[in-house]
Amino acid sequence: MSVLYLVVPVALLLVGVALAAFAWAVRRGQFDDLTTPAMRALQDDSEQKPRPR
Amino acid sequence: MRTAEPLLAPPRVACAHCGLTVPEGLVEEDNPQQFCCSGCRAVWDLIHASGLERYYDLPERREAPVRPSGSAFSEFDHEAFQALYVTRGSGGLSQTELYLEGVHCASCVWLVERVPLAIPGVAFAELDVTRSLVRLGWDPARTTLAAIARYLDALGYRAHPHRGLRTEQLRRAEDRRMLVQIGVAGALAGNVMLVALALYAGWFSGMDAGTSRYFRWVSLALTAPSLLGPGRVFFRGAWVSLRARTLHMDVPVALALGAGFLRGAVNTLRDAGPVYFDGVAALVFLLLVGRFLQHRAQRAATSSAELLLSMAPSSARVREDAGAAPREVPTEAVLPGMLLEVRAGETVAADGVIEQGRTSLDLSLLSGESRPVEAGPGDRVYAATVNRTGTLLIRVDATGEASRLGRLLKEVEAGARRRAPMVKLADRLTAGFVGVVLLLAVLTWAYWTRVNPSHALDNAIALLIVTCPCALALATPLAITVAVGRAAKAGILIKSGEALEALARPGVMFLDKTGTVTEGRTVLAEWVGPEWIKPLVLALEAHSPHPLAAGFRDAWPAVPVPDASGVHSTGGGGVEGSVSGHRVALGSPAFVGARLDRVAPPLPTSGDLTPVWIMVDGRLAARAGFGDPVRAEAPSVLANLRARGMRLRLLSGDAPSVVAAVGARTGFGPADCRGGVSPEEKLAAVEAAVRHEPVVMVGDGVNDAAAIARATVGVALRGGAEASLAAADVYLEAGLAGLLPLVCGAERTLRVIRRNIAFSLLYNVAGATLAVTGIINPLIAAIMMPLSSLTVVLASWRSRTFEGGSA
């Protein structure tokens, strides 16, 4: 069972990485508005940019 | 773009932009594109000129004619405005957030985020649909905010500055902080539970002492940061509550968390006895989630109510002197000594004296007075009054905090400060709960020290943990969260959950009259006279800017209007002239009385109506009465509230005779109606009543705001003044009709809370019995705890508190 002494710390390290990623996403404001991005995803024509006038 | 309809009906022509039927008069025969209005045509042109025709392929589009306001938005570029609402971002970009009217679906996202990019210098436009806020970034050297606002306006989205930007940013930061803490607590709790699973499995099937010790240390290492990081709020809350000598729900929570963790740590160190880390970590996580949900639901209601404040006029027209052309400045930049131009229909932005112009002023929001007041040069006007008829030039003498409105708002703040914090039902129960649990824990320990000393402490701590009011602490927040969310869908914005508890208890309810029980506008309520006089009246009134003239026109839209000659009006008194060969005069009884051939007998008029007499050829031919009509739903709503045990009182700034008449029609006893009440007296009335019992104040005006802030629960209505909106706990979009669903919903919510609390108490009793008798072991405790929370969550979620929501 001595492998546990290696595997558990590695797993916890991964948890730390995931948490850091989550905190980064939250601070970037990715969880501020959960409605609009869903609507944006339905508009698949990102190639169409308005012509400057 | 034509769709053929079956026979008989003329072919229906759909507007190329919004898809609605084009009115027949506007159909252009040879044009391939037809438009229902010029607004739609402008948007269609704009979209095509920008090369964004793909808009018309979107599956869901806005089906409403476009009505641009046509405003120049020049105040958006004023220094005062920029200093308040615009921030300088990286790369020299200016940023701000604007509140847009009329945003509601995916196609709005498409238009608002794309079309402004066609303006050179606009860096980005991001829309938040739920709150109708667009975040804009632009290069101030290449374009201006006013230009962007005009563009959005042309699309049919009128822009307003977002007044609560600073508080919003603070709140957003707080939200994000809470979310990160939940993430940390959740990740730690999940991993502690995995380790605990291994330990329980080892407990049944055997695990060597070294591995078991290792796992216990791992879970200690994971639980400590959870408790010291995200879990710190509970200890802080408990400390604050103890120092204030009140028992808050945080006290038993902190007690269980602290005792469980310390005992677990000691047991880990001495390598014997149960550890409670899984329970402790899960508790921190679950309670944080409950808190966050409640916080978020109330926040959503608060910010939608605050966004309505953004609709208040943001600009005023300033003139250098009476002859100069007006220029628009933000209301924040108006200073004493300036000359303001206020056109008909606009709200006065500052206190001052009229220099030029005559008008009738609507004071209803400021004082509750329902009848318009005539004003001319030399008269004082106040901010928040509405100019109804003529254009005024006003010399400003007080603005902002120094104005009468500003002083009233200070009263509002003071009222809100004096308000005692509401004691929540769950907190009231906590006091007894903590005492009983502590007593039981001591008894358990005392009993077991005699019987089996090695288990005494562990059994006492098992009791503390298993009776931890996890479900109890979740019961109220969840029920309130669900209720606040459902209420928002029904147009009832609830800013504080405590308001729901207070509303469910019958007490005294004060109602404002003007705009609350009545509609807050003047209409023709009484007409005594022959039909043939009506055209004569309309002919004369066609020449009058007086608000009552509009009242006649609204009342008789189908009556023909003949020509009138020799019309002249006396300011405020009345109008006279000749119509179809008759000499006609109409106006106040004094004005008309002086023009009669013989003295008229005194005529009875209902107490709450403004009388208008009509003279034809020297005889009194008809009379009319104008008044503020009682809302159609008022009598039934009020009767229902009375039936539920609410004692209703009418409190109004309007004349006592008017208040008494309206009260009589809506079922108030003469003793329950008070007229001529100043804002300060309203506050005093609420203050006196609130000492004995819960008080609900319902109102819409600035004059109600202080009383709304002071009452146990303040309710503001749609169309009211911003001040009352800001002071209120509850805002009813549906107007008075929303009052009954609010009270019923509050009662149902309280019932759900009670049910949840009863369940968790029952559960705790069972858990405590097991703990006291020493039957319980850590595994059973670990299973029982989340089970009780889950039951409470499900029971809250399925409860039907406010109608209109689905579930």
Boundary of a domain, candidates B564, B599, B627: B627
CA distance A25 to B180: 9
Residues B109, B92 within the same domain: yes
The minimum CA-CA distance between B239 and chain A, rounded to whole Å, is 28
- CB contact under 8 Å between B179 and A33, yes or no, is no
**Residue B505: is its pLDDT beyond 70?**
yes
Taking the C-alpha atoms of residue B448 and residue B695, their distance in angstroms, rounded to an integer, is: 51
Does some domain include residue B32?
A: yes
Least trusted range by pLDDT, from B8-22, B158-172, B586-600: B8-22
For residue A39, the chain B residues in CB contact (below 8 A) are: 105-106, 109, 129
Average pLDDT over residues B374-403: 83
Q: Is the ipTM of this complex over 0.95?
A: no
For helices B702-710 and B679-690, the axis angle rounded to 10 degrees is: 20
Cβ pair B271, B220 in contact under 8 A: no
Tell me if B374 is assigned to some domain.
yes
Question: Are B158 and B178 in the same domain?
Answer: no
Residue B745 DSSP code: H
- B293 with B260, same domain? yes
Specify whether B267 is located in the same domain as B338. no
CB contact under 8 A, A33 and B128: yes
B638 band by pLDDT with thresholds 50, 70 and 90: very high
The alpha-carbon gap from B188 to the nearest alpha carbon of chain A, in Å, equals 9
Indicate whether B714 belongs to any domain: no
Residue B736 lies inside a defined structural domain of this protein: no
Q: Are residues B221 and B276 in the same domain?
A: yes
> Is B364 part of a structural domain of the chain?
yes
> Residue B142 sits in a domain of what CATH number?
3.30.70.100
Q: Which of B162, B181, B211 corresponds to the end of one domain? A: B162
Based on the domain organization, do B298 and B189 belong to the same domain?
A: yes
What's the token pair of residue B393? 């030039």
Least CB–CB distance from A18: residue in B172, B180, B187: B187
Q: What is the CA radius of gyration of chain B?
A: 33
Q: What domain range includes position B113?
A: 74-162
The neighbour count for residue B202, using CB atoms within 10 Å, is 14
Query: B528 and B620: one domain?
Result: yes
State the Cα–Cα distance between residues B800 and B807, nearest whole angstrom.
7
CA distance B410 to B406: 6
B385 pLDDT higher than 90: no
Residue B783 lies in a domain: no
Residues B191, A49: C-beta atoms closer than 8 Å: no
Nearest CA to B433 among B259, B254, B249? Answer: B249
User: Looking at the partner chain, which of B114, B128, B183 has a beta carbon nearest the beta carbon of A19?
Assistant: B183
Over range B651-670, report the average pLDDT. 86
* Residue B151 with chain A: CB contacts under 8 Å: none
> Band of the pLDDT at B268, cuts 50, 70, 90?
very high
In a domain, B791, yes or no: no
CB-nearest to A32 from B59, B172, B222 is B172
State whether A5 and B214 contact (CB < 8 Å).
Answer: yes
CA distance A15 to chain B (A): 7
Confidence of residue B216 (pLDDT cuts 50, 70, 90): very high
Token look-up 């109608």 returns: B803
Segment B107-165, tens digit of pLDDT: 778 788 888 888 888 988 888 887 788 889 999 888 999 989 988 888 888 888 887 77
The residue among B165, B176, B47, B169 whose CA lies nearest residue B114 is B47
Q: Are B261 and B223 in contact (CB under 8 A)?
A: yes
Quickly list DSSP for B406-472: HHHHHHHHHHHHHSPPPPPHHHHHHHHHHHHHHHHHHHHHHHHHHH-HHHHHHHHHHHHHHT--HHH
DSSP class of B21: B
Same domain, B110 and B184: no
Same domain, B270 and B191: yes
Angle (CA) B452-B786-B488 rounded to 5° is 145
DSSP state of B22: P
Element (H, E) at B673: strand B673-674
**Tens-digit pLDDT profile for residues B555-597:** 887 888 888 888 877 766 788 888 888 888 888 888 888 888 8
Hey, is the C-beta of B183 within 8 angstroms of any chain A C-beta?
A: yes
* Domain-located, residue B540: yes
Establish if B118 touches chain A: CB-CB under 8 angstroms: yes
pLDDT over 80 (residue A42): no
- Give me B594's structure tokens: 């002086």
Mean pLDDT of chain B, nearest integer: 81
B212 in the same domain as B112: no
Residue B325's pLDDT band (cuts 50, 70, 90): confident
Q: Which of B627, B645, B679 is the last residue of a domain?
A: B627
DSSP state of B778: H
- Are residue B184 and residue B122 in the same domain, yes or no? no
Cβ–Cβ below 8 Å for A49 and B115? no
Q: Are residues B177 and B297 in the same domain?
A: yes
* Residues in Cβ contact with B597 at an 8 Å cutoff, skipping those fewer than 6 apart: B618, B619
Stated pTM of the model:
0.72
Q: What share of chain B is helix, strand, coil (3-state, %, to 5)?
A: 50, 15, 30
What is the nearest CA distance from A33 to chain B, expressed in angstroms? 7
b/e map B348-369, b = 16+ CB within 10 Å: bbbbbebeebbbbbbbbbbbbb
Domain count, chain B: 5
All residues of chain A having their beta carbon less than 8 Å from the beta carbon of residue B175 are 32
Residue B473 burial (C-beta neighbours within 10 Å; 0-12, 13-18, 19+): buried
Is B58 at the interface with chain A, CB within 8 A? yes
Q: Does residue B120 belong to the interface with chain A, where contact is any CB pair within 8 Å?
A: yes
The rounded distance, in Å, linking the Cα atoms of B172 and B174 is 5
